[in-house]
Amino acid sequence: MLIPEHLEIIGSELAIRWSDKSEDYIPCERLRAWSPSAENTGERDLLGRKYGGTDQKHFPGVTVRGWRVIGGYAVQFDFSDGHNTGLFSFDYLKAICREAPNL
């Protein structure tokens, strides 16, 4: 599993250096849009019905104000719009960094 060794805000992007020494850059606005939180994605009951979530995909001007590593598996970001409930697993974070140029 790749682990983020260093995170840094450079301009309006989050820079990540991974344990294999590769680097990724993702715009903070896009990181906010891809938050895996229930606030963004909603929640499903046992019958598969979705509750909550949002269709909002653009967060102009939103930046990352801070973060914390959760256990040995995820990063939780604090966004300038007050959002901070999504846990980005390391695998998910790497996956969205790969997808970011194609969005």
pLDDT over 60 (residue 103): no
67, 75 in Cβ contact below 8 A?
Answer: yes
Q: For residue 14, tell me if it sits in a domain.
A: yes
Total residue length of the chain: 103
Domain that holds residue 74: 4-41+60-102
pLDDT over 80 (residue 90): yes
Residue 4 CB partners (closer than 8 Å, separation 6+):
16, 17, 18, 19, 69, 75, 90, 93
What is the model's pLDDT at position 57? Answer: 78
Residue 92 CB partners (closer than 8 Å, separation 6+):
36
Q: Higher pLDDT residue, 96 or 49?
A: 96
Q: For residue 48, tell me if it sits in a domain.
A: no
What is the model's pLDDT at position 19? Answer: 97
Predicted TM-score (pTM) of the model is 0.86
Q: For residue 46, tell me if it sits in a domain.
A: no
pLDDT over 90 (residue 42): no
What is the model's pLDDT at position 1? Answer: 83
pLDDT over 60 (residue 49): yes
